[in-house]
Amino acid sequence: MASQPRLSDLRRAKFVRRLPATLSELAGPKHGPVHLPLHLAWSGLTTFDLDRPRLRMSYYRIVLAEGRHDDLVQYLDQDLLVGLWPTLRTLISPDLREVWENAFGELAASARAAA
């Protein structure tokens, strides 16, 4: 009998399927208020002011965890993601962090540089 895949492996596979090919695909907003659709922000706040650091961090956590490929490309910005990554990586699940750092060396480098 074949063994069941671990939940962690299933989560990582889901996150890998959603990744952009490169971080340069991320063309989301950098400033101001952004309204997230309910399939992303389904619990609580749906509008985030990216000029406010705590709201920007919450916004990035939500989009990374809940976003499909098209959401990631539409709502995330490459420069903001790399800049936020050293802190953001501590606020997301280990599976999500591992997938993004394995796919994009610049994120792992950003985390190492900040350490």
Confidence (pLDDT) at 60: 98
| 74 CB-contact burial (10 Å; exposed 0-12 / middle 13-18 / buried 19+) | middle
Tell me the pLDDT tens digit for each residue of 29-57.
999 999 999 999 988 899 999 999 999 99
Domain regions of the chain by residue span: 30-114
| 88 CB-contact burial (10 Å; exposed 0-12 / middle 13-18 / buried 19+) | buried
Spatial CA neighbour of 63 closest among 53, 76, 46, 44: 76
Q: Which tokens in the block code for residue 67?
A: 């976003």
The model's pTM: 0.90
115's CB contacts (< 8 A; 6+ apart) are: 86
